[in-house]
């Protein structure tokens, strides 16, 4: 089969590497891809919002199947656009992608279908929001409604920081804002829970814990993700039953009531409090860096699963996993998540020797004249799998130290909740 993957991050490199191992694969393209995907596929330099140009390429190359990695093209409706032109796509359509495209849309589904979540308020202007904030118990969580690359969430401990958050959102820091979401702060342990669905049936697709904050000990600003480990320390049979019955099934029921079907990965960001799951948010694709953490544990051919979803026969597939522990650390450009220098060479990357349990997934990289440069905030994802999380983390840090990239930084405490306690 001829396969095209849309996206340019670490998630897409991880997906591409898994797909490249499939016996069903004949030719692999990444649009636009990065320096890492160029080693296992042919990169095509097209913008992800240029739907017609993408379609013309897919038609010209007679692509059999498209896999959409990131959220923005999904929310913008690329699946609907390509399906109308008889291109087979793995990913949810525009209507159900609102689960990620609008946090308020998801909150209203939670309310209607009794899905456990934090108490919340929805506001349309600064003045009403400020009035609501008066005399509220802190901390509060303030969220931009739309897509914000994982950065549109503020945890506010006082009135001043709350007002600053509201002002930044309504002033357009994350794009035009017609509404804002204010939530109670839930204390507990976060967990990422994934399913894969063909619209008729679904299967669990492992768990992880992401580390969003830029600083050690989960301090500092939110990022797209500084690292993750999989499987989550929290998951057990009883908790998974609750997640499915209280969160996943009601959500899929809501989608069915919309007369829609969900085809793709669905990622539930959860808070676990007193052994009870609460929905924080949905993402309509694999997480990043959770994807890079989870996929090395997958035994089953990923392309087989995706084809089964597109053919509505996922129910017949078994998903098998390595009984190992996976840990990922993201190497970032100094300055991230604020401003950082671009086009900085990463000179030692080709000298690293990896065994079968070690992986490096490229994110914000490009290759020119056989030289790899950093062009993004999150640059490389180092992953190791072993029998325990500590060994995995030590191996990853050892590889990062060998790279010795002076313009990068990373969190050395990824997995601390499962390793250091």
Per-residue model confidence as pLDDT tens digits over 27-51: 999 999 999 999 999 999 999 999 9
DSSP conformational letter for 175: B
Same domain, 26 and 85: yes
- Mean pLDDT, the chain, whole residue set: 94
Per-residue model confidence as pLDDT tens digits over 287-306: 999 999 999 999 999 999 99
The helix/strand/coil state of 160 is helix
Same domain, 172 and 269: no
Alpha carbon 310 to its chain's center: 21
Alpha carbon 394 to its chain's center: 24
- CATH number, domain of 160, equals 3.30.1490.20
Q: Is residue 120 part of a domain?
A: no
Q: Is residue 395 part of a domain?
A: yes
Q: Is residue 112 part of a domain?
A: no
Average pLDDT over every residue of 67-76: 96
Q: How confident is the model at residue 177 (pLDDT cuts 50, 70, 90)?
A: confident
Q: Prior bond to 358 cis, omega within 30?
A: no
Same domain, 251 and 357: no
Q: Prior bond to 125 cis, omega within 30?
A: no
- CATH number, domain of 371, equals 3.90.600.10
Q: How confident is the model at residue 132, as a pLDDT?
A: 86
- CATH number, domain of 199, equals 3.30.470.20
Q: How confident is the model at residue 193 (pLDDT cuts 50, 70, 90)?
A: very high
Q: How many domains does the chain have?
A: 4
Burial of residue 408, with CB atoms counted within 10 A of its CB: 0-12 exposed, 13-18 middle, 19 or more buried: buried
pLDDT at residue 150 above 80? no
Same domain, 205 and 300: yes
- Report yes or no: 38 and 363 within 8 Å, Cβ to Cβ: no
* Selection from 243, 329, 331 nearest residue 293 by Cα: 329
Q: Is residue 183 part of a domain?
A: no
Beta strands in 240-398 (DSSP E): 263-273, 276-283, 325-333, 344-345, 358-362, 365-368, 371-374, 378-386
Q: Is residue 381 part of a domain?
A: yes
Q: Is residue 355 part of a domain?
A: yes
Q: How confident is the model at residue 98, as a pLDDT?
A: 96
Q: What is the largest CA-CA distance in the chain?
A: 62
Q: Which domain holds residue 236?
A: 189-316
Q: Is residue 195 part of a domain?
A: yes
């Amino acid at each position: 089969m001829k396969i095209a993957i849309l996206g340019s991050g670490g998630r897409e490199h991880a997906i591409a590497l898994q797909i490249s191992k499939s016996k069903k694969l004949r030719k692999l393209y990444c649009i636009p891809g990065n320096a890492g995907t160029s080693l296992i596929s042919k990169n095509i330099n097209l913008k992800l919002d240029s739907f017609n140009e993408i379609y013309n390429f897919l038609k010209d190359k007679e692509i059999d199947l498209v896999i959409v990695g990131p959220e923005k093209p999904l929310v913008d409706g690329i699946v609907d656009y390509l399906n109308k032109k008889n291109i087979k796509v793995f990913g949810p359509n525009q209507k159900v992608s609102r689960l990620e495209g609008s946090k308020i849309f998801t909150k209203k589904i939670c309310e209607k279908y009794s899905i456990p979540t934090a108490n919340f308020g929805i506001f349309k202007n600064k003045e009403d929001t400020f009035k609501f904030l008066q005399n509220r118990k802190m901390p509060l969580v303030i969220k931009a409604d739309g897509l914000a690359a994982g950065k549109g969430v503020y945890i506010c401990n006082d009135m001043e920081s709350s007002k600053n958050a509201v002002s930044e959102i309504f002033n357009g820091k994350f794009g035009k804002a017609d509404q804002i979401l204010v939530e109670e702060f839930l204390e507990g342990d976060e967990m990422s829970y994934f399913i894969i669905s063909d619209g008729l049936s679904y299967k669990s697709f492992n768990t992880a814990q992401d580390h969003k904050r830029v600083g050690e000990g989960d301090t500092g600003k939110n990022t797209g993700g500084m690292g993750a480990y999989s499987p989550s320390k929290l998951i057990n049979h009883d908790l998974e039953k609750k997640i499915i019955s209280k969160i996943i099934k009601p959500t899929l029921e809501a989608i069915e009531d919309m007369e829609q079907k969900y085809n793709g990965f669905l990622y539930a960001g959860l808070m676990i409090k007193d052994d009870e799951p609460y929905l924080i948010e949905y993402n309509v694709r694999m997480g990043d860096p959770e994807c890079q953490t989870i996929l090395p544990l997958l035994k089953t051919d990923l392309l087989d699963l995706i084809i089964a979803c597109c053919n509505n026969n996922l129910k017949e597939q078994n998903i098998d996993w390595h009984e190992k522990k996976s840990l990922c650390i993201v190497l970032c450009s100094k300055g991230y998540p604020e401003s950082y220098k671009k086009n900085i060479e990463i000179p030692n990357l080709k000298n690293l020797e990896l065994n079968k349990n070690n992986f490096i997934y490229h994110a914000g990289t490009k290759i020119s004249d056989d030289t790899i440069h950093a062009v993004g905030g999150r640059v490389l994802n180092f992953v190791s799998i072993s029998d325990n999380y500590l060994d995995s983390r030590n191996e990853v840090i050892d590889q990062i130290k060998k790279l010795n990239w002076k313009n990068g930084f990373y969190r050395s405490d990824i997995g601390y909740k499962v390793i250091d306690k």
